[in-house]
Amino acid sequence: KIPVQSRELWNKHKVRKFGTAEEFEEKFISHVEWTLARSLYNCDDLAAYQATSQSVRDNLVIDWNKTQQRQTARDGKKVYYLSLEFLMGRALDNALINMRTDTSSQDVGPTDETLTKGNTAREMIRNAMKDLGFKLEDVLEQEPDAALGNGGLGRLAACFVDSLATGNYPAWGYGLRYQYGIFAQKIIDGYQVETPDYWLNFSNPWEIERSEIQVPINFYGYVHRPESEKTTTSPSDWIGGERVLAMAHDMPIPGFKTPTVNNLRLWSAKPTTEFDFSKFNNGDYKNSVEQQQRAESITAVLYPNDNFDQGKELRLKQQYFWCAASLHDIVRRFKKNKRPWSEFPDAIAIQLNDTHPTLAIVELQRVLVDLEKLDWHKAWDIVTKTFAYTNHTVMQEALEKWPVGLLGHLLPRHLEIIYDINWFFLQSVEKKFPHDMDLLSRVSVIEEGSQERYVRMAFLAIIGSHKVNGVAELHSDLIKSTIFQDFVKVYGANKFTNVTNGITPRRWLKQANPKLAELISETINDPNDDYLLDMSKLTELAKYAEDEAFQKKWNDVKQFNKSRLADLIKRLNNGVDIIDRDHIRNTLFDIQVKRIHEYKRQQLNIFGVINRYLCMKEMLQSGSSIDEVAERYPRKVSIFGGKSAPGYYMAKLIIKLVNSVAEVVNNDAEICDLLKVFFIPDYNVSKAEIITPASDLSEHISTAGTEASGTSNMKFVMNGGLIIGTVDGANVEITREIGEDNIFLFGNLSENVEELRYNHQFQNTSLPEALVKVLNAVESGAFSPQNASEFRPLIDSIKHQGDYYLVSDDFDSYVATQDLVDQVYHKDKKEWLKKSILSVANVGFFSSDRCIEEYAETIWNAEPVKPE
Ligand code: GPU
C-alpha cells in the first residue's frame, strides 16, 4: 500500500494516453528506441508493427487498469467465460477501430472531439505512420494471427469477449496460452500438410505476463480421508502426485467506443520450483530436471479437432489445469470481499463454452467441500447456481466422454465427487420416476459399457448448471428432442434455452470491409459509425434497395473486394492469375470456407462443380459453341478453404479432390476460363477478413440437423453476399430475418433425415443420374490419372456405406438451386443487388452484442458497469 502522503506525487506523474498524432509519434519512437532497442536506421515493418502495438497497448493498459478498478469498486455481478479456444486473429487493427471513445470527459486518448470530423483513430495513426515512413496496411500484415482455436466455437468466444467489453460487462475470458495454436496448413501436390504455428516467435506485444500470478496445480496422487470423516461427501484430502504451476498472461480486450477494456486471461504451464531432492540425492539430477520440463507440455499445443472428441490424457490434463487455475483465481477474488459463500452465485456467473470446462463444476464443489469445509448440499446449491453450459453440437462423435479409469488416475478426488454428484442426482430421478431403471441408466453420468465405463461430460455439465443453451433455434429444439430428451423429462423444459449466435460487426464489417462500412455510414448519415452498436440502424438501407445509383455504388464495393481477393489468390497461386480481371464483374465468386468435415459437405459442393464441368464438356462435344456454353454456364470461380483435422482421412481426401479437380478444370483450354476452382491454403481469421467481403455467393450446405448454428453464414450476409444453404442451424433464422426471397435454400429437412438414412440402409435407393455421372468420372480417374482409385473411399461412402450425410438425397435440388443462382446473378443483376442490400439491411439480429445481451438477461443476470 502506498502511503497517502505519497499519492500526490503519483498523481503528478500520472501516465497519459496519447490523443493526437504527435503524441503517438513520440510514443512510437520511444518504443523503437527503448522497448525494441532499435533506431531510425534499422526500423523495418516488423519493428514498426511492434512499436505501434506497444504504443496502442499503452493506451489500452491505462483503460484496462481503470476498468478493473471501476468494476471492483462497483462490485456488480462478474461474468467468466471459460473456453478452451479463443480464435482472436490479429489485435492491432481491431484495437485501432475500437480505440475511439465517445466520452469527452476522458481527458486523454483520441475522442470524437479531438479527431477531425469524420476521422477516426485509425485514420490518425495511418497518417502518422505515413509521416514516419510506413504504410499502415503493410505494418498490420506483420502481425501473426492469435490462432488459439479450431473454428466456429473458438471464433464465437472471440466475438463474445469483444461484445462483452463493448457492452461494458464486467467479464473476463479464461483460456489456455498454447505455444502453438492451430497448425498452419500447406498444400503440397494437392494434399494437406500440417506445419507448426510459431505465433510466439517474435515477442507478443498484446500479452502482459503476470509472473507474480502462479497457481499450483496438482495431478495424480491419492485421497486421504481422516478417520473421523466416514464418507466421500465429507472433507477429504487430495495428496497430489505431480505439481505444475499455472502462470497468467493477460490480453487487454478493448470495447468499441467505450473506455472499458476487459481481460482475457490465458494460462501457461511452468515447472514448479520445488525440487525433488530425493532424486537429486540419488544422483538423478538430469532426470529430475527433465521431468520438470515436461510440465510445459501441458500448454504446448491446441488439439486440432473440430466437432470431434479424441479422448487423450494430455487433453484432460489441459482441461483440469485450466479449470483449476481459473477457479482458484475467481475464488481468490471473491474471498477478498469477505462475503458469505451463499452469495457466491450473486457475485459470479460462469459460462461453460461446451463441455471442455465441465471439470470446473467438480473443482468448485471440491474447493467448497474439502478446502472451505462447506456442507455438501450447501456447496452443491452454490455450484449449480453459478454455472451455465452451452452446447454446440448434437453429433455423437463430438460428445466428450472420459474413461473412468483415466479420470480416476489423473484426478482421484474428482472422480469420487463425480460419483457422489451422480448418486444424489439419480436419487432425485428415482424419486420422481420410481422404478424406471432404464431412465436411470440413460441419464447416469456414468455410461456402463461392456468393456469400459465412461464419464459423460455433457450430462455432468447439465446436472451442474442452472441453464443449458443451444446456439440457434433449430439446434436448441433438437437438443431437447434428441440427446438431452431425458433431461427435459427430469428437469422440465425451462432449464433449456436458446441463444442464437452472433458475430461482432466491428471486425466483420468495419475492419474486414472498410469500403462497405464507409458506404453505409455515408448512406444512413451516421458519420460516427453508431450503427456498429445499434445494427437496427441498418434497416435504413432498405430504402435504397432498388435505387440504381446506390446499387451501382454497392456493386462497386463488391467488385473492389473481389479484386482484393483475386490478388490474394494470385499471390497464393505463386503469382499465376487464374481469375480473368477483365470479366471479374461478371464472374460469380462462389465460396465455401470452414473446417473440412463430411457433415459440412464440401464433397457436395465439389461434386456440383464436377457436374457443371461435365455438362459444359458435354455441350461442347455435342456441337454447342462456347457462347452457348457460357449462356448456360456463365462465369464462375469456385473457392474452397479450410483445415482438416490431421487424423481425419475422409476430410483430407476431400481437400485432395478439390485440388485435383482444380488442376484439371483450370487447365482445360476448351472451356475458355468459364469455370475456375481454387483451394485457399491455410484458411484463418486474417484470410477470412479478405475472403468474406468478396463473396457473391457462399455455401452453408450441411446435412439438415448437423450444423448447430454456423457463424460464417452471418459474416457473409453482413458483407452483402447471398447464401446457398440447407434448412439448418442459423440459416433458418437468417431466412426469417432477411426474407426467404433473399436466400437460396434447398435440400431435405432435418425431420426427414432419420428416415432417409434408414432408407439407405434397408431399402435399395438409387442415385440421381447426374450424381452417377459425376461419381463415374471420379472413379474413372478423370481427376487422378495416375491413381484412378484414389477417391474410392469418397465414392464408396455414398454408394455402398449408406450415404450418412445424404449427399445423394440433396444433390439434384442443390444443382437446380445453383442453376437458379446463375439465372439471377447473370440475368437480373438488379434483382441480385436488391437481395444483397436487403440482406445487409436486416442482418442486425446477428450482432454478437444482441447475443451477449440475451446471455446477460436470461442466463447470467448480469448488468453493465458503465464508465462515468
Ligand atoms: N463447433 Br462441438 C465448433 O466449432 N467446434 C466444436 O468442437 C463444436 C462445435 C461449432 C459448430 O459446429 C457451429 O455450428 C457453431 O456455429 C459454432 O460451434 C459456435 O456455436
- The answer, yes or no, to whether residue 846 has pLDDT greater than 90, is yes
Residues sharing a CB contact under 8 Å with residue 145, sequence separation 6 or more, in sequence order? 88, 89, 90, 181, 199, 684, 685, 686
Counting atoms of ligand 1 from 1, which one is nearest the CA of 305? 7
Whether the CA torsion 810, 813, 819, 820 is positive or negative: it is negative
354 Cα–ligand 1 center, Å:
9
Residues sharing a CB contact under 8 Å with residue 765, sequence separation 6 or more, in sequence order? 759, 803, 808
Q: Please give the average per-residue pLDDT across 150-160, as a whole number.
A: 98
- Is residue 676 helix, strand or coil? strand
List the grid coordinates of 347: 457475485
Q: Which pLDDT band, with edges at 50, 70 and 90, does 103 fall under?
A: very low
User: pLDDT tens-digit profile of 806-819?
Assistant: 999 999 999 999 99
Q: Which pLDDT band, with edges at 50, 70 and 90, does 449 fall under?
A: confident
Q: How far apart are CA 742 and CA 692, in angstroms?
A: 18
User: pLDDT tens-digit profile of 348-404?
Assistant: 999 999 999 999 999 999 999 999 999 999 999 999 999 999 999 999 999 999 999
List the grid coordinates of 559: 467488385
Counting atoms of ligand 1 from 1, which one is nearest the CA of 308? 7
Q: Please give the average per-residue pLDDT across 529-534, as a whole number.
A: 98
Query: Residue 1 has what pLDDT?
Result: 86
33 Cα–ligand 1 center, Å:
44
For residue 592, the number of C-alpha atoms closer than 13 Å in the C-beta half-sphere is 24
404 Cα–ligand 1 center, Å:
26
Query: Residue 303 has what pLDDT?
Result: 98
Query: Residue 290 has what pLDDT?
Result: 78
- The answer, yes or no, to whether residue 279 has pLDDT greater than 80, is no
List the grid coordinates of 276: 525433488
Q: Please give the average per-residue pLDDT across 555-566, as a whole number.
A: 98
Q: Is 270 a catalytic residue?
A: no
Catalytic, out of 366, 595, 635, 760: 595
Catalytic, out of 90, 636, 715, 835: 715
Q: Is 711 a catalytic residue?
A: yes
Higher pLDDT: 287 or 728? It is 728
Question: Closest residue (by CA) to atom 8 of ligand 1?
Answer: 307
Q: Cell 440447407 sits at which residue?
A: 726
Q: How far apart are CA 632 and CA 674, in angstroms?
A: 11
Question: Closest residue (by CA) to atom 16 of ligand 1?
Answer: 710
Catalytic, out of 90, 392, 413, 562: 392
Query: Residue 474 has what pLDDT?
Result: 99
User: pLDDT tens-digit profile of 30-74?
Assistant: 999 999 999 999 999 999 999 999 999 999 999 999 999 999 999
What is the assigned CATH class of domain 154-501+853-860? alpha beta
User: pLDDT tens-digit profile of 474-509?
Assistant: 999 999 999 999 999 999 999 999 999 999 999 999
- What is the rounded (10 degree) CA torsion for 190, 191, 196, 200? 30
Residues sharing a CB contact under 8 Å with residue 573, sequence separation 6 or more, in sequence order? 678
- The answer, yes or no, to whether residue 105 has pLDDT greater than 60, is no
User: Which of 750, 747, 714, 851 has its CA nearest to residue 478?
Assistant: 750
Catalytic, out of 27, 126, 249, 600: 600
Q: What is the domain partition of the chain in residue ranges?
A: 15-74+92-142, 154-501+853-860, 507-841
Query: Residue 226 has what pLDDT?
Result: 86
351 Cα–ligand 1 center, Å:
16
List the grid coordinates of 803: 450415404
User: Which of 25, 15, 17 has its CA nearest to residue 52?
Assistant: 25
Q: How far apart are CA 709 and CA 152, in angstroms?
A: 9
Q: Which of 83, 86, 153 to mutate to test the pocket of ligand 1 (most atoms within 8 A of CB)?
A: 153
Q: How far is CA 191 from CA 187, 643, 845, in A?
A: 5, 11, 39
List the grid coordinates of 795: 465414392
Higher pLDDT: 100 or 660? It is 660
Q: Is 703 a catalytic residue?
A: no
Residues 507-841, CATH architecture: 3-Layer(aba) Sandwich (3.40)
Counting atoms of ligand 1 from 1, which one is nearest the CA of 707? 14
Q: Is 597 a catalytic residue?
A: no
List the grid coordinates of 699: 455455401
Counting atoms of ligand 1 from 1, which one is nearest the CA of 729? 14
Counting atoms of ligand 1 from 1, which one is nearest the CA of 149? 4
Q: Cell 439448418 sits at which residue?
A: 728
Q: Which of 307, 601, 707 to mutate to test the pocket of ligand 1 (most atoms within 8 A of CB)?
A: 307
- Is residue 345 helix, strand or coil? helix
Question: Closest residue (by CA) to atom 3 of ligand 1?
Answer: 153
User: pLDDT tens-digit profile of 610-635?
Assistant: 999 999 999 999 999 999 999 999 99
Per-residue DSSP letter, 503: B
480 Cα–ligand 1 center, Å:
18
Q: Please give the average per-residue pLDDT across 302-320, as a whole number.
A: 98
Q: Which pLDDT band, with edges at 50, 70 and 90, does 277 fall under?
A: low
708 Cα–ligand 1 center, Å:
7
List the grid coordinates of 210: 503476470
Cβ distance 91 to 143 under 8 Å?
yes
User: pLDDT tens-digit profile of 203-239?
Assistant: 999 999 999 999 999 999 999 998 888 799 999 999 9
Catalytic, out of 594, 612, 676, 834: 594
497 Cα–ligand 1 center, Å:
17
Q: Collect contacts of 64-68 with beta carbons under 8 A, ≥24 apart.
A: 64/252, 64/261, 64/262, 64/263, 66/259, 66/867, 67/259, 67/260, 67/261, 67/262, 67/867, 68/263
Query: Residue 824 has what pLDDT?
Result: 98
Q: Which pLDDT band, with edges at 50, 70 and 90, does 102 fall under?
A: very low
Query: Residue 229 has what pLDDT?
Result: 80
- The answer, yes or no, to whether residue 101 has pLDDT greater than 70, is no
Query: Residue 780 has what pLDDT?
Result: 98
- Is residue 489 helix, strand or coil? helix
Q: How far is CA 297 from CA 175, 178, 300, 412, 775, in A?
A: 16, 10, 5, 22, 45
Query: Residue 446 has what pLDDT?
Result: 98
Q: How far apart are CA 360 and CA 583, in angstroms?
A: 56
Q: How far apart are CA 574 and CA 579, in angstroms?
A: 13
Question: Closest residue (by CA) to atom 13 of ligand 1?
Answer: 710
What is the crossing angle of helices 152-166 and 848-855, to 10°? 80
Burial category of 436 from C-beta neighbours within 10 Å (exposed 0-12, middle 13-18, buried 19 and up): middle
List the grid coordinates of 704: 439438415
Query: Residue 867 has what pLDDT?
Result: 94
Counting atoms of ligand 1 from 1, which one is nearest the CA of 471? 20
List the grid coordinates of 623: 456441337
User: pLDDT tens-digit profile of 720-743?
Assistant: 999 999 999 999 999 999 999 999
Q: Which of 155, 303, 306, 469 to mutate to test the pocket of ligand 1 (most atoms within 8 A of CB)?
A: 306
307 Cα–ligand 1 center, Å:
7
Counting atoms of ligand 1 from 1, which one is nearest the CA of 151? 4
Enumerate the H helices of 573-601 as residue ranges: none
291 Cα–ligand 1 center, Å:
36
Note the maximum CA span of the chain: 95
SS3 string, 206-271, reads: CCEEEEEEEEEEEECCEEECCCCCCCCCCCCEEECCEEEEEEEEEEEEECCCCCCEEEEEEEEEEE
Q: How far apart are CA 358 and CA 413, in angstroms?
A: 15
Query: Residue 322 has what pLDDT?
Result: 99
Q: How far apart are CA 464 and CA 422, in angstroms?
A: 10
Ligand 1, CB within 6 Å, residue ranges = 150-153, 156, 306-307, 354, 392-393, 398, 471, 501, 707-711, 729
Burial category of 440 from C-beta neighbours within 10 Å (exposed 0-12, middle 13-18, buried 19 and up): middle
Q: Which pLDDT band, with edges at 50, 70 and 90, does 117 fall under?
A: very low
Q: What does the mean pLDDT of the chain come to?
A: 96
392 Cα–ligand 1 center, Å:
5
Cβ distance 385 to 345 under 8 Å?
yes
Query: Residue 280 has what pLDDT?
Result: 66
- Is residue 411 helix, strand or coil? coil
- Is residue 167 helix, strand or coil? coil
709 Cα–ligand 1 center, Å:
7
User: Which of 15, 596, 636 has its CA nearest to residue 308?
Assistant: 596
Q: What percent of the chain has pLDDT over 90?
A: 93
Helix (H) or strand (E) holding 146: strand 146-148
Helix (H) or strand (E) holding 279: helix 277-281
Q: Which pLDDT band, with edges at 50, 70 and 90, does 278 fall under?
A: low
Enumerate the H helices of 387-526 as residue ranges: 404-410, 412-432, 437-443, 457-463, 473-481, 485-491, 505, 514-523
Counting atoms of ligand 1 from 1, which one is nearest the CA of 152? 4
Q: Please give the average per-residue pLDDT across 289-297, as a whole number.
A: 83
Q: Is 230 a catalytic residue?
A: no
Counting atoms of ligand 1 from 1, which one is nearest the CA of 475? 14
Residues sharing a CB contact under 8 Å with residue 811, sequence separation 6 or more, in sequence order? 604, 607, 608, 767, 768, 770, 771
Q: Please give the average per-residue pLDDT across 287-301, as a whole number.
A: 86
Q: Which of 392, 683, 726 to mutate to test the pocket of ligand 1 (most atoms within 8 A of CB)?
A: 392
Question: Closest residue (by CA) to atom 18 of ligand 1?
Answer: 153
- The answer, yes or no, to whether residue 14 has pLDDT greater than 80, is yes
Q: How far apart are CA 699 and CA 701, in angstroms?
A: 6
Q: How far apart are CA 217 and CA 274, in angstroms?
A: 13
List the grid coordinates of 209: 505476463
- What is the rounded (10 degree) CA torsion for 840, 845, 849, 855? -160
Q: Which pLDDT band, with edges at 50, 70 and 90, does 115 fall under?
A: low
Query: Residue 104 has what pLDDT?
Result: 43
Q: Is 186 a catalytic residue?
A: no
